[in-house]
Structure 1
Amino acid sequence: MRLFIKSNDYLVWDVIEDDPYIPLKIENEGNMILKKKMEMGEEERKKIQINEKALHMLFCSFGPDIYSKVSFIESAKEVWDTLETTYEGTNDVKETKIGILNLSFENFKMEPDETVSKMFDRFSTIFNVLKGFGETIPEDKLVRKLLYSLPESWDGKRTAIIEAKNLKTLKLDDLVGSLLTYEIMKQGREEEKKKEEKRVEKLEVKKKKKM
């Protein structure tokens, strides 16, 4: 949703994030009354229109259950804040979730018989959710963590990458690509080995039959 709004109109996202909404109220003899449209200046109209555009983009993306909870709110920022609290929790809840995710990141390891693709799916889920909570992990730290999460059977490849690459500048996508290539080659060698073993077994069987 954040990406969709920013790509359509960054001013709309500014409204949601910073709340430049102008209430249509003025003070009259000590009482707050609604300002008439003809009394509004052009700049004020523009700010109100951006807020309405933000509300429109948000409301059009909601199902009936969510819409019924926020349809009465006039500020796009208040709608966004309500959604964050409802679906992400209060600040205390967020901090707890971030703590759990950070622990998952620190303890991350490649599982037995797991492919590089599946491992990276789990890995990217952790750091992308953290990013959603405002916790951005530097790419060089992601590279090192993924590299050292590999099991002992990958020691040779890990050492080769460390010796050949600068881990401070190595891109995560490039690392994953290198690991995927190595995995394919490794699987190919294992398949060839199995075929050779089967061929030897068949020869042994033929020899025994002749005897």
Structure 2
Amino acid sequence: MGDDEEKDAAIKAKEIGPSSIKCPMLNNTNYTVWSIRMKVALKVHKVWETIDPGTKDDDKNNMAIALLFQSIPEALILQVGDLDTSKGVWDAIKARHVGADRVKEARLQTLMAEFDRLKMKETDKIDDFVGKISELSSKSVALGQTIEEPKLVKKFLKSLPRKRYIHIVASLEQVLDLNTTSFEDIVGRLKAYEERISEKVEEEDQTEYNDQGKLMYVNTNSPQYNQDNYGGNRGRGRGGSFQWRGRGRGVRL
């Protein structure tokens, strides 16, 4: 590798380094997503340890505070600006958005009740329903309670429309240990099944359409159909009146 190539490689490495990571901006409605993204940003800058578990390192602590201050509104900076540790700043931000313990517990109960009621609609796609489960799971983590993966797996399978997925769910419950199967594995299997039944439904719809067309063709060309139409006109005289032809002369009715 020449000098020019080494310089290019060094520039590219610098471009994708910590300095290129932008901090998300916190607002009144995005705390859960903000905390997840901010945690990653602090880890990339190698300063998350000053918050969890809370190690003492002046340089890293100052860097973490600087990053946090870049990601919160000015009004919030004025409220937490006197705190001298990044852990203190993080906890203060969390307390203002998550709430006190009682409020936090109430929110968690409401969230878990919503999780228990969640059902997949007949018109939903697997990806849409998985997104709803993942969103509730992330909010639960932000409130301090992690939903274990076996619970997510069982909730997912239980919430699927029975009419459409009963056969695949029964098969998976027989061949897999749901306590050790990952959520991603189950989702992948159901997505593959969804694709197959979608193709089957399209084929059945097309077959039904073709069968109906053939049936209409057969009915309109059947002898009985032609006989009924012929018989309906036979015996009509001029002017649409019926005539009876017996042994004698025709008598107009």
Query: How would you bin the TM-score normalised by the shorter chain?
Result: 0.7 to 0.9
Corresponding residue SS for 2:120: coil
Offset at residue 139 of structure 1 (A): 1.5
| Structure label with greater radius of gyration | 2
Offset at residue 133 of structure 1 (A): 2.1
Residue in structure 1 matched with residue 107 of structure 2 by the alignment: 97
Q: How big is each residue's C-alpha offset from its partner over 1:165-211, in whole Å with a ceiling of 9 and x where there is no partner?
A: 12122111110011111111111111111101111122233334545
Offset at residue 75 of structure 1 (A): 2.7
Residue in structure 2 matched with residue 7 of structure 1 by the alignment: 44
Measure, in 2, the Cα distance between the counterparts of 1:94 and 1:76: 22
Query: Matches of residues 74-85 of structure 1 in structure 2 within 5 Å?
Result: 74-85=84-95
Q: Which segments of 5 or more consecutive residues in structure 2 lack a partner in the other structure?
A: 1-37, 227-253
Asked if residue 136 in structure 1 is aligned to residue 131 in structure 2, the reply is: no
Asked if residue 158 in structure 1 is aligned to residue 154 in structure 2, the reply is: no
Offset at residue 91 of structure 1 (A): 1.4
Measure, in 1, the Cα distance between the counterparts of 2:100 and 2:161: 38
C-alpha contact 2:98 2:143 (8 A) present in aligned 1: no
- 2:131 partner amino acid: D
1:179 to 182, 190, 198: 190
Query: Matches of residues 1-211 of structure 1 in structure 2 within 5 Å?
Result: 1-9=38-46, 12-17=47-52, 47-153=57-163, 154-210=165-221
Q: Which segments of 5 or more consecutive residues in structure 1 lack a partner in the other structure?
A: 22-46
Cα RMSD, aligned residues only = 2.1
Q: How big is each residue's C-alpha offset from its partner over 1:124-148, in whole Å with a ceiling of 9 and x where there is no partner?
A: 1111211222212221222112111
Offset at residue 20 of structure 1 (A): 5.7
Larger RCO (CA under 8 A, 6+ residues apart): 1
Give the TM-score normalised by the residue count of structure 2.
0.66
> Which deviates further from its counterpart, 84-93 or 68-77?
68-77
Measure, in 2, the Cα distance between the counterparts of 1:158 and 1:169: 16
Measure, in 1, the Cα distance between the counterparts of 2:89 and 2:211: 70
Count of residue correspondences: 184
